[in-house]
Amino acid sequence: MQIISEVREPLVTGGKTIKDVTNDIARHVENQPTRLWFICMAISIILLGTGGYFVGDLAWNGIGRWGLNKTVQWAWDITNFVWWVGIGHAGTLISAILLLFRQKWRTSINRAAEAMTIFAVICAAFWPVIHMGRPWVGAYWVLPLPNTFGSLWVNFNSPLLWDVFAISTYFSVSLVFWYVGLIPDFATIRDRATSAASRFFYGVLSFGWTGSAKDWMHYEAVSLILAGLSTPLVLSVHTIVSFDFATSVIPGWHTTIFPPYFVAGAIFSGFAMVLTLMLVIRKVYRLEDYITMEHIEMMNIIIIVTGSIVGIAYTTEFFIAWYSGVEYEQYAFINRATGPYWWAYWAMMTCNVISPQLFWIKKIRTSLVWTFFLSIIVNIGMWFERFVIIVTSLHRDYLPSSWVYFTPTIHDIMSYVFTFGLFFFLFFLFAKFFPVVNMAEVKAVLKDSNSKVYRARRTLVNEPLPQLEENTVEAK
């Protein structure tokens, strides 16, 4: 008899027990750092220190060191700001929205994705602060302070101020959400600690967690509340970032498609960065049984969907420019594709529209090498997208006499390198001292993963399904 089994790959492989989950995930926290960790940390510190020298030079001599000019007043600084904010979107999406939709495949990747969100937002906040030129003089002016500064208030009509509120709220909620999820795992490491210092350190972080039914009830309630708060933030943060451009009258910016377009692009780039980091963690910490091909394939499918949305947005922009009949708008988009920055535009199109379509092929979608390569390609393409939107819309304005070509300086490049060093420095610290996979939530899906029926692929067989073993989940 022919039977079709409509089931998926398991979320945890290797026939793991609850004890195995604890030992495998807590191992990298309890053991001494590996040589590879020291190498990665050393590289991060070198990038951080080298880039920090140029950042210090910017603070001393001013942002005139950048390649900005009278026409192109925004360039690499705001490009990198929007890029880093986009990187931070996938963490909250995986944690909040997939939690509300009860998607179990999020359990092994949500912890690292949430940490990535925190560190990416920190890197993003660096750019508008340093762009002020002398942040120690006026950075606090973005806060709605009382009239002790000469009866002056911030301009609440400015989308740049909306950024401050949106990103600070997003950072705060994401940080609390990330920390709440860590508390049960901190308690597990506390109870396994062999040294008094570790026991005290993780005991303080675990807030006296005992694992009682009351603790778990409060944990579930707080998680759902924070997920409910975070879900609209996923949509609002990059929407408000897009208002920096959409509320202006500059051709190429003044468009209502920017909010959904920016949100889809942020999720697109965020998932690509999650894939890049998780594939490295999977290999370094030997977590192949927890970060399985099921997780990788599901993330690749989301990249296909969001990449297709971004491609539609690119096409829609050209259509609306033509349909508007405004010659300045039309020229802005023709200039993007055929002007001096044509190479950036076509790099963006290749990386963001063409490369994700390769994931329609299952062999590529389930290949670790191809996934790692394409995840990097996507993030390169998304950086070019922000660069194209910002620079090509500015370098040729209404007056041909003011047209200019923007060229980055070493200070532009090394400031960007500084944020990479900061991001990876923080991430490797996290990967050493905190569990990179959520032990508590992985244990919750362990029973399903040990089921024979769940382990089966979608196949066409000629014999009846085998009898279920004890302690497995029966298929309905």
Given a cut of 80, whether residue 18 has pLDDT beyond it is yes
Given a cut of 50, whether residue 48 has pLDDT beyond it is yes
Helix (H, G, I), strand (E, B) or coil at 356: helix
435-454 residue pLDDT tens: 988 888 888 887 665 554 44
DSSP code, position 465: P
% residues pLDDT > 70 (the chain): 90
Q: Distance (Å, rounded) from C-alpha 364 to C-alpha 227? A: 33
Q: Which residue has the higher pLDDT, 290 or 4?
A: 290
413-435 residue pLDDT tens: 999 999 999 999 999 999 889 99
Q: What are phi and psi of 429, to 5 degrees?
A: -60, -45
pTM: predicted TM-score of the whole model, two decimal places: 0.87
Q: Distance (Å, rounded) from C-alpha 370 to C-alpha 376? A: 10
Q: Distance (Å, rounded) from C-alpha 40 to C-alpha 34? A: 10
346-379 residue pLDDT tens: 999 999 999 999 999 999 998 999 999 999 999 9
Q: Distance (Å, rounded) from C-alpha 369 to C-alpha 363? A: 11
- Mean pLDDT (the chain, rounded): 84
At residue 398, the pLDDT reads 83
Q: Distance (Å, rounded) from C-alpha 135 to C-alpha 35? A: 39
Q: Give strand pairing partners of 460.
A: 4
Weakest mean pLDDT among 4-8, 19-23, 86-90, 433-437: 4-8
Helix (H, G, I), strand (E, B) or coil at 69: coil
At residue 140, the pLDDT reads 76
**DSSP alpha helix (H) spans, 14-158:** 18-30, 35-61, 76-87, 89-92, 98-100, 110-131, 135-138
216-249 residue pLDDT tens: 899 889 988 988 888 888 888 889 999 989 998 8
Alpha carbon dihedral 459, 465, 466, 468, in 10-degree steps, equals: 100
Q: Distance (Å, rounded) from C-alpha 167 to C-alpha 126? A: 12
**CATH number for the segment(s) 3-141+161-461:** 1.20.1630.10
Give the model's confidence band at 467: pLDDT under 50 very low, under 70 low, under 90 confident, else very high: very low
Q: Distance (Å, rounded) from C-alpha 108 to C-alpha 439? A: 8
